[in-house]
Amino acid sequence: MLFNQLDSIGEKTINKIAEMAFKSQIKKAEHLSVQVKIEPSKLAKGILESLHIDGYGLTMQKDLRLEKMKITLNNISVSPLKALMGNVQLTKPSQGKASIVLNEKDIETALNINNLNQQLQKYDIPLDNKLVKVKFYRADCRILADGRIVVKAKLKILNTQIIESICLVIKPRICHSGQGVLLSEVRCTQGKQFSSTLTNLILEESAKIFNLNHFLMDGISLDVNHLTTEDGKLNLMATAGITHLPMG
């Protein structure tokens, strides 16, 4: 039977198609491997045994960098004859699991200083009983093992030589819908003299980083179910779903 005669060339072809599909969703990668595991008897029933995506140093389409991403999807239903001909079409959604790791540098890079300053241009900030213009020029992040994220931003009071700091301590938690991470239990430990405008701008920019839309690839969904931190790293575990291979 045709499926029992599936050789390494056929498997390599399907793997190459999957690899190209997922690489089209990523701007840059230090390493990215995509591997489809095929068992001929399962393929005859229209099932790819598994799909593994493993990468590190990834820059996604929306410019968010991830230290690591691993996705494993099992028993993927496909049209068997089309798959053998190199046209991998899913016949129904499949599920698996995913893990994502963000480090401090990833978050610092994603805190877009230019965007923050563009927003700041709209506001006069009250300070010492007068209104001033300020400009961000640096943002640092620390991820603590106890589950907190510390964001410290340096800002300059325009037309002066004064440099000030704002420090926020944030406790992230999983959104009830599983579609992202919420920044809760926010505490300002430095820069309380400034208005809430600056704090809110930092929080809004930070929240964008944890919106799962920044992590997603075409055809892939993620439902976060667990979050942990260690010194310097934020780990997200999720249920992954696939409806189709990404369109290049």
Q: What is the pLDDT of residues 182-231, one digit of tens each?
A: 888 889 999 888 878 888 888 888 887 877 777 788 999 988 889 999 99
Beginning with the edge strand found earlier in the chain, give each strand of the sheet holding 220-230 in spatial order. Answer: 26-37, 47-60, 65-77, 94-103, 233-242, 220-230
pLDDT of residue 191: 86
Q: Where in the chain are the domains? A: 3-100+219-228, 106-209
Higher pLDDT, 63 or 18: 18
In this model, does residue 102 exceed pLDDT 70?
A: yes
Tokens of 230: 């260690």
> Tokens standing for 161?
């030589």
What three-state secondary structure class fits 198? helix
Residue 45 in tokens: 């029933």
Write down the pLDDT at residue 124: 87
Indicate if the pLDDT at residue 5 is higher than 60: no
Residue 125 has pLDDT above 60, yes or no: yes
Express each pLDDT in 132-174 by its tens digit: 899 998 899 999 999 999 999 999 998 888 898 999 999 998 8
Residue 45 confidence (pLDDT)? 86
CA dist 12 to 5, 38, 112, 248, Å?
A: 14, 10, 41, 19
CA atoms within 13 A on the CB side of 7: 1
| pTM for this model (two decimals) | 0.86
